[in-house]
């Protein structure tokens, strides 16, 4: 099994072509094992090369509000007062750990998105 790390775009394209040929390989066979290893290498290469940064916490909140029809008033139970919601959404105050937990538990916003550093307005 001559498998090398994927370092270039050419290596990447070659690995994808081989994966396509091995796509129907049965598990626990030499071909299936090769497919598994190549897929793991391609996934690691894609994560390194095409990594998507986590969104700003406020943008994650705004996205969830828009996609689920939530209002600022809906956020008050998780963040505190109307003024606190305004401070958060206007980048005047960072989220506390309690707020992050509340947003995650009440609205299903991924905690990974909420714990990112938040740029505060000057």
- For the stretch 84-121, pLDDT in tens is 999 999 999 999 999 999 999 999 999 999 998 888 87
110 and 66 inside one domain: yes
65 and 94 inside one domain: yes
Q: Say how far apart CA 40 and CA 5 lie, in whole Å.
A: 10
Residue 119 belongs to some domain of the structure: no
Task: Print the domain residue range for 29.
Answer: 9-49
Residue 31 belongs to some domain of the structure: yes
Confidence of residue 1 (pLDDT cuts 50, 70, 90): low
27 and 63 inside one domain: no
Residue 53 has pLDDT above 90, yes or no: no
Number of H helices, E strands in the chain: 7, 0
Residue 109 belongs to some domain of the structure: yes
């Amino acid at each position: 099994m001559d498998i090398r790390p994927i370092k270039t775009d050419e290596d990447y394209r070659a690995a994808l072509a081989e994966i396509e040929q091995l796509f129907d390989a049965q598990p626990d066979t030499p071909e299936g094992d090769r497919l598994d290893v190549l897929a793991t290498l391609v996934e690691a290469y894609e994560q390194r090369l095409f990594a998507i940064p986590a969104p700003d916490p406020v943008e994650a909140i705004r996205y969830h509000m828009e996609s689920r029809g939530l209002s600022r008033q809906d956020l008050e139970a998780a963040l505190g007062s109307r003024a606190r919601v305004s401070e958060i959404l206007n980048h005047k105050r960072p989220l506390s750990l309690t707020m992050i937990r509340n947003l995650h538990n009440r609205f299903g916003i991924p905690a990974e998105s909420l714990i990112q550093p938040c740029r505060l307005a000057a």
